[in-house]
Amino acid sequence: MSARRLTLSTIDGIPLVKPGDDVTSLLLDGLLSSGDSLEDGDILVLAQKIFSKAQNRYVSIADVTPSPEAERLAVEVDKDPRIVELILSESNEVVRHRPGVLIVAHRLGYVMANAGIDASNVAEGGEEDERVLLLPVDPDGDCAQVRDEIKARTGVDVAVIMNDSVGRAWRSGTAGIAIGVAGMPAILDLRGDDDLFGRPLKVSIVGIADELAAAASILQGQAAEGAPAVVIRGYSVAGEHSTGQALIRDKDEDLFR
């Protein structure tokens, strides 16, 4: 029996994304220019930042007026109060904070530092033309839209995952997670399946879309390489579809909030 195999490939030829760009067109043009194509069952993993940029989720820091709450919290976390204002406006709840760290529950449920806002480009002195980038408004909807558009334009049935790199409890370093999912099960519920000996499994619910998001993140790189789109081939996406929301643990079942 031959080995099971999974391949991950970057989609090359994607230009820097600008507000108003059509992500699906950029992906299909990139594939065309490199002579690649999609196949039924492929999983397309797309970096959050290209959606945020296409949707013009930039905010100019100079336009932000911090609330008294943001001013107060900014002192405690040692951040620009305007950034803190943006983080709070994108969040439902502050989960933890200390100097240099502000971990919140994003309005869509993800627990992450700084509500996923990319504020690394904001000069500490506060240059007035600096911009930050918020997460997309509706990552699950964006994934469903790309999936539908690819089906309409090419006839190919793919799954789409939007990923971001986030810090984690207990572990050093970031890992990719899925903040949007379409066309596949986001989690695998193996309860009822048996192990090799016909006994119940130790691990019964797998965060499969997070594992796929982490795998793509390896290729996407974090540095100047810039490979926002990865095609994963060889994983069966069979099963009832669910969204990125399925990967969020209910607050009342979460011992770490």
Restricted to residues 77-106, the positions that interact with its own copies (CB under 8 A) are 96, 98, 101, 103
Nearer to its own copies, 82 or 106 (CB): 106
Nearer to its own copies, 63 or 202 (CB): 202
Residues contacting its own copies: total by CB under 8 A: 76
Nearest approach, Cβ of residue 33 and its own copies (Å): 10
> Segment contacting its own copies (CB under 8 A): 77-85, 136-144, 151-159, 183-191?
183-191
- Rounded Cα distance between 103 and 96, Å, is 5
- Rounded Cα distance between 210 and 239, Å, is 16
Interaction residues for its own copies, span 132-171 (CB under 8 A): 165, 168-171
Q: Dihedral angle at the C-alpha atoms of 137, 139, 140, 146, nearest 10 degrees? A: 110
- Rounded Cα distance between 215 and 237, Å, is 15
Residues 6+ apart with CB under 8 A from 230: 8, 9, 10, 11, 44, 45, 216, 219, 220
Binding mask of the shown chain, residues 218 to 247, with x at each position contacting its own copies by CB under 8 A? xx--xxx-xx-------x----------xx
Nearer to its own copies, 65 or 172 (CB): 172
Judge whether 167 and 174 are in contact, CB under 8 Å. yes
Report helix, strand or coil for 18: coil
Nearest approach, Cβ of residue 40 and its own copies (Å): 19
Should residue 9 be labelled a site residue for its own copies when binding is judged by CB under 8 A? yes
Nearer to its own copies, 156 or 190 (CB): 190
Nearest CA among 129, 123, 135, 137 for reference residue 60: 129
Should residue 191 be labelled a site residue for its own copies when binding is judged by CB under 8 A? no
Should residue 16 be labelled a site residue for its own copies when binding is judged by CB under 8 A? yes
Question: Exposed, middle or buried by CB within 10 Å (0-12, 13-18, 19+), for 109?
Answer: middle
For the record, the structure tokens of 191 come out as 């309860």
Nearest approach, Cβ of residue 46 and its own copies (Å): 15
Binder among 64, 94, 156, 248 for its own copies (CB under 8 A): 248
